[in-house]
Structure 1
Amino acid sequence: MGAVSYLNRHLTLEEPQRVSDGAGGYVESWVPLGSLWASIEAGTGSKRSEDFATISVVPLRITVRGAPVGSPSRPKPEQRFTEGARTYVILSVTEADPMGHYLICQAREEVSS
């Protein structure tokens, strides 16, 4: 993979943060950690029912530049990428090459309909 030439999508990496709701509970909000250039390859999608909505699930392979373990710019499971109105939930992260120059994030895009 000539990965550098394929990093043509500008994504924002976000992390969930719990904030007090003032009534003894909390609400979850998403905090931007930074932006990354990425390549996105889509897999085969499926649909499932959840609560009162039908959710369309598309597995994705998102490639980004490598970052050391523990670095805030290294994606982690349960974080997400956003691209405009689109949201990609990160499921797992592995090195794409032995030197760790690139990371592969297995993710899914969930779209309510």
Structure 2
Amino acid sequence: MSPHLNRALVLEAPVETPDGAGGFIGGWEVLGTLWAELAPGRGRRAAGVEVAVSKVPYRITVRGAPSGARSRPVAGQRFRDGSRVFHVLAVSERDPGGRYLVCTAEEVTA
């Protein structure tokens, strides 16, 4: 059965830019928009540094892309849907032909 790719998610990669004082500032570079299917898992509450946070696992399915392509998500990147952010933890092929990829991700909210 084919996934229902009905959500446009922005794929972002971490970048560091010089701060002018010998250090770096972390940020995110937009790699593109991918159509995806989101399937939430069971959430849990975790203690944050100063507040309690909610961590919800997601299975995000997108179209396949060859290794090394900018459109292929990798662990350490993230998806953005407006103000919602999904951190990519792992990526694997959904089917033997590699037509779809499954991203194990986590949404963290305060």
TM-score tier by shorter-chain length is over 0.9
TM-score, normalised to structure 1, is 0.94
**Identity percentage over the alignment?**
47
Q: Distance in 1 between matches of 2:93 and 2:2?
A: 15
Unmatched tracts of structure 2, length 5 or more:
none
Paired AA for residue 20 in structure 2: G
Q: Deviations over 1:54-93 (max 9, x none)?
A: 1110000000000001111000000000000000000000
Unmatched tracts of structure 1, length 5 or more:
none
For residue 75 of structure 2, give the secondary structure of its aligned residue in structure 1: coil
1:40 matched to 2:38: yes
Paired AA for residue 7 in structure 1: L
Q: Distance in 1 between matches of 2:24 and 2:2?
A: 44
Aligned to 2:26: 28
1:109 matched to 2:84: no
Paired AA for residue 108 in structure 1: E
1:46 CA drift (Å): 0.5
